[in-house]
Amino acid sequence: PSAALAHDEVGNLFRIIRELTAQGVAVVYISHRLEEIREIGDRVTVLKDGRTVAVGLPAKETPTSQVVSLMTGRNVEYVFPKRPAPGSHDGKAEVLRVRELSIPGRVSDVSFSVRAGEIVGLAGLVGSGRSEIIEAVYGARRFSGEVVLEGRPVRRGGGTTGAVRLGMGLAPEERKAQALLLDQSVSRNISLAS
């Protein structure tokens, strides 16, 4: 329930839940945000693949790693690989190169590259242009400059269909506004990947 709420609104929701439970009302709170469950919950039931795998775990004492392990079916230490040492990507193949990318009125002369196995983060305040840069690289926005994917130039104006053909994917920052097709049929949504 908190996914669409601002921080102060979440606080208000939790206040109301606490008032209700103080009056003897039972509350079933469903969330993937473990810190919320720990804050307001008494007991935790864990589901994995539609089946109950744990019942009645104490919310405040059960380690997050145990809950994640129950949800995923494996220990947390095996979920994420060890971080490579700084500079360890030097010499690895360049997967993406962006040179002098400009979007009129948004950003100018942005350059960066991404090597195999590397994670590059773009950070900035809302309105700084970070989202627009990624949209341009993905073909969802017009730009000037150069984008090269695995040695092949990405056509400006090739659109998102061209990006998909080149093997790109985009996980948008705002799922509700940019990723869900709620006005489309179930069959249309199921067949999107093809």
User: Is 88 part of any domain?
Assistant: no
3-class secondary-structure state, position 191: coil
3-class secondary-structure state, position 79: coil
Give the per-residue pLDDT at 154. Answer: 85
Tens of pLDDT, residue by residue over 105-139, are 899 999 999 998 888 888 888 888 999 999 999 98
For 146, phi and psi rounded to 5 degrees? -135, 135
What is the pLDDT confidence band of residue 78, given thresholds at 50, 70 and 90? Answer: low
Give this prediction's pTM.
Answer: 0.55
Q: How far is CA 148 from the centre of its chain?
A: 24
The pLDDT of residue 60 is above 80: yes
Do 99 and 172 fall within a single domain?
yes
Query: Rounded to whole angstroms, how far apart are CA atoms 145 and 106?
Result: 14
Do 46 and 17 fall within a single domain?
yes
Do 127 and 70 fall within a single domain?
no
Give the per-residue pLDDT at 6. Answer: 82
Query: In sequence order, which residues have a C-beta less than 8 Å from that of residue 29 and are 6 or more positions away?
Result: 1, 17, 36, 37, 40, 41
Tens of pLDDT, residue by residue over 3-36, are 778 888 999 999 999 999 999 999 999 888 888 9
Do 64 and 98 fall within a single domain?
no
* Stated length of the chain: 194
Residue type, 149: L
User: Is 162 part of any domain?
Assistant: yes
Residue 71's domain spans which residues?
Answer: 7-78
User: Is 145 part of any domain?
Assistant: yes
- Of 99, 106, 104, nearest to 128 by C-alpha is 106
- Other CB atoms within a 10 A radius of the CB of residue 68 amount to 15
